[in-house]
Amino acid sequence: MARAFSRRRFLSASAVSAVALGATGLARATQAAPAPLQGRLRQSVCRWTLPGALAEVCARVRGLGLTAIDLLYADEWSVAREAGLTCSMGYASRREHFIENGFNDPKNHPMLIEELSRAIPLAAAAGVPNVIAMFGNRKGLSDSDGIANCAAGLRAVAPLAEQHGVTVCVELLNSKVDHPDYQGDHTAFGVAVMKKIDSPRVRLLYDIYHMQIMEGDIIRTIREQGRWLGHFHTGGVPGRHDIDASQELNYHAVAQAIADGGFQGYLAHEFTAKGDPYAGLAEACRICQV
């Protein structure tokens, strides 16, 4: 996940996206889409990285052979579905300070549990397999207290998630560059929370960009902690740009490790391309095709 302001840049366009393209144009774009990408990983892309009205974005994403798009709000899920795409990760709400106010603070639990309790059945009905959640900013909290608080709050929504077959994915973010004071900034913290909950429908959103900044050792972590990882995001380090040879990670090897572990979820590309965003996305898909 990138900074919150980056993700909000295109909300006004997406709100009118279906009208902008029109039902006929959307149907034509969907019918003209090529066969889905081959390989063992299901690839997706985060909506905020692609400019334009949502329906147009969906048509172009489908045209690259992708079958999913990440990080859409509930009122946008039908736009993706009409374009032949799965929303691979949905938001439970449109809320300011979404990242900062997470499950580590018990004061947030009523709000967060209410949001997810409302969103999970809607996601199941819309064919959205995952909804995103956050650990929240530390604000002086110890790791032991943060882990206990997160586990208590997430445990309250786990039965509903299990009932509806929707996974709540809690994101790991870096606190060094992009999200100062975020508490879930190391895999060990997230895994400790997951072990306390021990639900197949509460998992970590393992953002490779963020964890490379904080701890590195990406492939070993994926191999050792794969059972707790429910979703992946990509991004080049440094700068969260293209995942090509200009940055420090070998994403083909990372993708290979994810696939070798039998991962069945989605790997979603989340970077700001240095050039044409669709060309950058196409190259990222090629790199991660294993």
Would you kindly state where each structural domain of the chain is located, as residue ranges?
4-287
Strand order of the sheet with strand 68-72? 42-45, 266-269, 229-234, 202-207, 167-171, 130-134, 86-90, 68-72
Summarised one tens digit per residue, pLDDT across range 126-151 is 999 999 999 999 999 999 999 999 99
Write the CATH number of the domain with boundaries 4-287.
3.20.20.150
Q: Are 187 and 205 in contact (CB under 8 A)?
A: no
Q: Are 131 and 165 in contact (CB under 8 A)?
A: no
Q: How confident is the model at residue 34 (pLDDT cuts 50, 70, 90)?
A: low
User: Considering the chain, what percentage of its residues have pLDDT values greater than 70?
Assistant: 88
Please tell me the total number of residues recorded for the chain in this structure: 290
Q: Is the pLDDT of residue 9 over 60?
A: no
Read off the pLDDT of each residue in 61-76 and give the average, rounded to a whole number: 97
CA–CA separation, 100 vs 174, rounded Å? 13
**Is there a cis peptide before residue 121, judged by omega within 30 degrees of 0?**
no
| Residue 69 φ/ψ, nearest 5 degrees | -140, 140
CA–CA separation, 257 vs 220, rounded Å? 9
| Residue 77 φ/ψ, nearest 5 degrees | -60, -40
For residue 37, which amino acid is it? L
Q: Is the pLDDT of residue 75 over 50?
A: yes
Write down the pLDDT at residue 36: 80
For the chain, report the end-to-end CA distance as a whole number of angstroms. Answer: 24
Summarised one tens digit per residue, pLDDT across range 254-274 is 999 999 999 999 999 999 999
Q: Is the pLDDT of residue 7 over 80?
A: no
Read off the pLDDT of each residue in 148-171 and give the average, rounded to a whole number: 98
Q: Are 290 and 252 in contact (CB under 8 A)?
A: yes
Mean pLDDT score across all residues of the chain: 91
